[in-house]
Each structure stands twice: as structure tokens, then as C-alpha cells.
Chain A
Amino acid sequence: MQPASNTPRQIVDHLFRHESGKMIAVLTRIFGMHNLSLAEDVVQEAFLKAVQTWTFNQVPDNPAAWLMTVARNKALDIIRRQQHFRALSGELAYQLQHATESTVRQLFLDTEITDSQLRMIFACCHPSLKEEDQIALTLKTVSGFGTTEIARALVTNEAVIQKRLYRARQLIREQGIQLEIPCGGELTARLETVYTVLYLLFNEGYNSLKADELIREDLCMEAMRLCLLLSEHKVGRQPATFALLSLMCLQASRFDSRMDENNGIILLQHQDRSSWNRELINMGYHYLRQSSCGDRLTVYHIESAIAAEHCLAPTFEETNWERMLQLYTLLLEHKPMPVVQLNRAIVLAQLGQQAAAIREITAIPGIEKLLDTHHIYSAVLGDLYLQAGDKPNACKHLTAALRLTVSLAEKKLIQQKLEKAGEGEK
């Protein structure tokens, strides 16, 4: 009864969450995707058993393996309780049952567990599902998040998440979606969807201003964990996977440096570069090198290369802006979006081309609305006008930016620029 030592019993962080995804994947491979809820029940029972046993006794040496064994035994129990062997002769029934049980045991081996997890990721990212449903289902089934946690992470309410999960499961049943690894062109297409889901998961955690910091970090870590899992499997070991993984590492290295105490975004040029996580940066470089084989250039390659350029520069001013301009021009071809254009304009300004930069921003489709709602656009445009010596326009946009930002640090910086812009005005 008594624990062997007086040290508090500690279990590795997120153990249940991570093991949940593994167990559900293996159990679903056994019982079929149409029995997803049966798999979830078995997992819940395994956790309950762990809670009771570990609380009142000792935590086993290998808690993850303990949980897997419980799940395996429960699966075998369910198979033995099934009636479908009864219609056969004793001999045949014995052989079939024996073969089934041996297959089930096989599926609980480590390599098969990874394989099942990957199949589950592919199933959750099935093209028949809506993007928002893919994300919710992946978080629930692969990542072991609860509905409340998903709602918090995606800044919505629980009913919305429940609806998405319900819709996804219904579609899976209706279409008979199975846990399988697609082949050929279908695999390439499915991997694209998986990348999109992982990229969105990561960005949701990295950029959302509304979610609390803790769950945001969880989301980023989870996206990285799944991307790593993908990169370790033969079908996922693709240049684009490594490029995405590299991008996530390089971005995550600035995770703690990009926010101020008021949850305001600190722009890259104002971040303390010494606080960037070197370990993640080096991992990012490593995966970027691994991504540079093959003949296909993806947005992840370009974005990762941009992130790497920032990490390589000792200061913002010393960034290789010529190279940046090439990269952003390339990115804009692959991803014509306002935020890419804004960043390209910033690069132009760094190269002394203020007028071109201003033209670039004012040419963004829908810029009027963006200037009214996102402080970054107003702040950058105001700053560019200031650099170009157009004080009235600088004042106008900086005032808008001041009104839109919630970050105190940002407010202070914009205020300083406003004072400069106001000089000689009055």
C-alpha cells in the first residue's frame, strides 16, 4: 500500500492526452471506424482503472505501457464476448479466435501503434469532411483533447464543437470511411490536407489573440508532435513534411518573445533576439536541410526559409533583405494573401524603396477594411509614410493603429512615431 519512497508521485505531463490518441487509433483499427465510440469507451475505462489503481497504489514503472496493456485486454475481452464464432464447429471457432487474438496483439506493438495513429490522422483529414470538422475531429480523436479544451483553443463554445464532431462522425459512418493509408496520387492529396490541418492548428495556437496562453502553447506543441509523428513514418517522410516541421520549430523558437505582458503582439523588429529558443532554431535548420530534396517547392519551404533568414540575422537591420525580397516575391506567387503582401512591402522599405512599399500596401485588395480592423496594417503604413516624409498621412494611419492595438508596448512605440509625425504640423 505505502509508496516505496516519500517523493511525490509524478506522471509525465499530458500522458493521458497522448496515450488517448494512441489507444483510440489502435482500438479503432481493431473495431473499425464505425465503432469509434466503442473505442472511446474502452479508453475511458482504461483511464478510470489507472486513476483508481495508481492513486491507491504505486504508479507503474511504465505507465504508458500499462495503459496499453489494459486497453489490449479489454479489446480481447470484447472479442471473446462476441457471438460470431458460435456458428462454427469447435475446431474452426478455436482457430479463428486464436488467429484474431494474435492479430490484435500484433496491433499493440509499437510500430503498429504509430501506423494506426497515422491512419487515424488520414481518416480525420478525409477530403469529404469540412476543414473546421477535420480540425475538431483531429483534436478530439488524435490529440485526446476534450470538447471544452477544443472550444477554448479555437475560441468558440462547446456546442459548436459538439456539432462539428457530430457532423464529422455522421459523415464517416455514411461514407464508410476506413482507417487506411491512401496510395499514389490520393496519398499526395491527403498529405496536403494533413499539412493544412497541422498548419492551421499551429497558427491557431501561435496567432490567436483571444485564447489563453496555456492552451495556445498546447496547440502549437500538439501540431509539432503530430508533424514529427508524420515525419517518422515512411509515408510521411516527405520534403514538405520536413519543411512544415522546420517552419513550426523556427516559429515556436519565438513563442515566448512575441507577446508582451498584455497579450499584445511584439513585432519582429522589437523582439529581444537573445530570448529566442536556440534549441528549436537548430532543430528548424536541421529539418530545413532535410526538406531540401525532391523537386517540389511548397509554401512551407518558402515560409520556413523566410523564418530561417530571420533567425540567422543578428539584428533586424542586419537581415539579408535582398534575399528576403526574393523569398516574399516567390511566396506571393504561391500564396497571394494580404499578410504576405504587407510583409513584402516591409522588405521593400528596408531596401529603401518606401514609395514602392506604400504602393504595394495600398494595392492590397480590401485594404480599406484591413486598415480599419487590424492595427498592423495601419501601423506599418503610417510608419512608411513617416519614412517617406508624408506627415499628414503618417499621422492619420498611426492614430488609427494607436486606437486598434491592445499592446501597451506597441502603443508606446506608435505614440513615439506619432510625436515625430506631429512635429512641424502644429
Chain B
Amino acid sequence: MKDFMFIFHNGSNAGKLSPEEMQDNMQQWMAWIDKLKAKELYVAGEALLPAGKMVKGPKGVVTDGPFAESKELVGGFFIVKAASLDEAVEMAKDCPDLPLNGTVEVREVMVFEGM
């Protein structure tokens, strides 16, 4: 089994949810994590606050951001176990934010061997 990272980009419709829909979405996330944990495929995960700073370039220029209205805003990440990239992609299709126009970036964690 290899490690993969799921990087969650917020959906454009995530900010328009009613309290009932937010609770429903949260329950789906919990159920998803609990399911992955039960199969021992869940390694770690965190959510990120929307506010932050960007440090950029040789001069280390600091700007505010990322911005909440940005479509690319990363809302959190998982590290999961899967046999292959294809399998990881299948797992990512369960992400509860997809119906809200969310995106999951699926990346394999690089392993350095023989060093």
C-alpha cells in the first residue's frame, strides 16, 4: 500500500448552504472518515482556516491570502492508503463536497528509497 494525499479545494457552492445542509454535509464527511478509518485506510487529515498569508519569491514578499472567494482555496487534506493511483481516485469520488462543485486533488506521496 502507498500513501496518497487528498487536497480538498472548496466548492463554489459551499458558502450558500443552509444550517440543515451544513449539518448534512458535515455528517457525510464524518461518515466518510469513519468508513476509511474502519478499513484502516485513513492515516491523517486536517482542516485549514480560510485566513492566512502568502510568502513569495526571493525577497520573501508577504501578502494577505489566500482569499476566501478564490476558487482554489484549500480547505483541508487527508493522507490515505491505497494500492494505486486509480484506487485512490476511486476513493476520492466519495468526497461529500463534489456535489457543491468541490475538487479533490489526488497526489501520491513520494517515497525515497536506498538513501
Asked if chains A and B come from one complex, the reply is yes
Q: Determine the chain A residues whose CB is within 8 A of the CB of B44 once the complex forms.
A: 1
A8 and B31 contact, CB distance less than 8 A:
yes
Residue of B nearest to A1 (CB): B44
Cβ distance A391 to chain B, nearest Cβ, rounded Å: 53
CA distance A53 to B47 in the complex (A): 8
Q: Which of A1-46 touch B at CB < 8 Å?
A: 1-3, 6, 8-11, 14-17, 19-20, 43
Q: Is B84 at the interface (CB under 8 A from chain A)?
A: no
Q: Is B12 at the interface (CB under 8 A from chain A)?
A: no
Contact of A51 among B18, B26, B31, B49 (CB under 8 A): B26
A-B contact pairs, 19 of them (CB 8 A): A1-B44, A6-B34, A9-B34, A15-B23, A16-B20, A17-B19, A17-B23, A47-B19, A52-B47, A54-B30, A55-B33, A56-B33, A56-B76, A144-B19, A144-B20, A145-B18, A146-B18, A146-B21, A149-B18
| Category for how many chain A residues contact B | 20 to 34
Cβ distance B73 to chain A, nearest Cβ, rounded Å: 13
CA distance A10 to B30 in the complex (A): 9
Contact of A16 among B19, B47, B49 (CB under 8 A): B19
Cβ distance A186 to chain B, nearest Cβ, rounded Å: 32
Q: Is A148 at the interface (CB under 8 A from chain B)?
A: yes
Q: Determine the chain B residues whose CB is within 8 A of the CB of A146 once the complex forms.
A: 17-21
Known: A47-B19, A50-B26. A3 touches B34 (CB 8 A): yes
Q: Is B37 at the interface (CB under 8 A from chain A)?
A: yes
Query: Could you give, for residues 1-37 of chain B, a 1 whenever the CB lies within 8 Å of some chain A CB and a 0 otherwise?
Result: 0000000000000000111111101110111011001
B20 and A17 contact, CB distance less than 8 A:
yes
Residue of B nearest to A140 (CB): B18
Q: Is B65 at the interface (CB under 8 A from chain A)?
A: no
Contact of A55 among B17, B18, B19, B26 (CB under 8 A): B26
Q: Is B64 at the interface (CB under 8 A from chain A)?
A: no
Q: Is B45 at the interface (CB under 8 A from chain A)?
A: yes
Q: Is B69 at the interface (CB under 8 A from chain A)?
A: no
B30 and A52 contact, CB distance less than 8 A:
no
B30 and A8 contact, CB distance less than 8 A:
yes
CA distance A16 to B17 in the complex (A): 11
CA distance A3 to B17 in the complex (A): 27
Q: Determine the chain B residues whose CB is within 8 A of the CB of A53 once the complex forms.
A: 47
Known: A1-B44, A2-B37, A56-B47. A144 touches B18 (CB 8 A): yes
Residue of B nearest to A145 (CB): B18
Cβ distance A185 to chain B, nearest Cβ, rounded Å: 36
Residue of A nearest to B32 (CB): A55
Query: Could you give, for residues 93-104 of chain B, a 1 whenever the CB lies within 8 Å of some chain A CB and a 0 otherwise?
Result: 000000000000
Residue of A nearest to B44 (CB): A1
Residue of B nearest to A7 (CB): B34
B22 and A47 contact, CB distance less than 8 A:
yes
CA distance A64 to B17 in the complex (A): 19
Q: Determine the chain B residues whose CB is within 8 A of the CB of A47 once the complex forms.
A: 19, 22
Q: Determine the chain A residues whose CB is within 8 A of the CB of B90 once the complex forms.
A: none
CA distance A146 to B24 in the complex (A): 13
Q: Determine the chain B residues whose CB is within 8 A of the CB of A14 once the complex forms.
A: 20, 23
Contact of A56 among B20, B22, B31, B45 (CB under 8 A): B45
Q: Determine the chain B residues whose CB is within 8 A of the CB of A59 once the complex forms.
A: 30
B45 and A8 contact, CB distance less than 8 A:
no
Q: Determine the chain A residues whose CB is within 8 A of the CB of B29 once the complex forms.
A: 51, 55
Q: Which of B45-76 touch A at CB < 8 Å?
A: 45-47, 49, 76
| Best-surrounded residue of A8, A50, A144 (most CB of chain B within 10 A) | A8
Q: Determine the chain B residues whose CB is within 8 A of the CB of A11 once the complex forms.
A: 23, 26-27
- What 4 A-B pairs have minimum CB-CB distances, sorted nearest first? A146-B18, A16-B19, A52-B47, A16-B23
Cβ distance B16 to chain A, nearest Cβ, rounded Å: 8
Q: Determine the chain B residues whose CB is within 8 A of the CB of A9 once the complex forms.
A: 30, 34
Q: Determine the chain B residues whose CB is within 8 A of the CB of A2 once the complex forms.
A: 37
CA distance A50 to B37 in the complex (A): 21
Known: A8-B30, A55-B29, A56-B45. A148 touches B37 (CB 8 A): no
Contact of B22 among A8, A10, A16 (CB under 8 A): A16
Q: Is B83 at the interface (CB under 8 A from chain A)?
A: no
Q: Determine the chain A residues whose CB is within 8 A of the CB of B38 once the complex forms.
A: 6
Q: Determine the chain A residues whose CB is within 8 A of the CB of B20 once the complex forms.
A: 14, 16-17, 144-146, 149
Cβ distance B62 to chain A, nearest Cβ, rounded Å: 23
CA distance A6 to B19 in the complex (A): 27
CA distance A56 to B26 in the complex (A): 10
CA distance A51 to B76 in the complex (A): 12
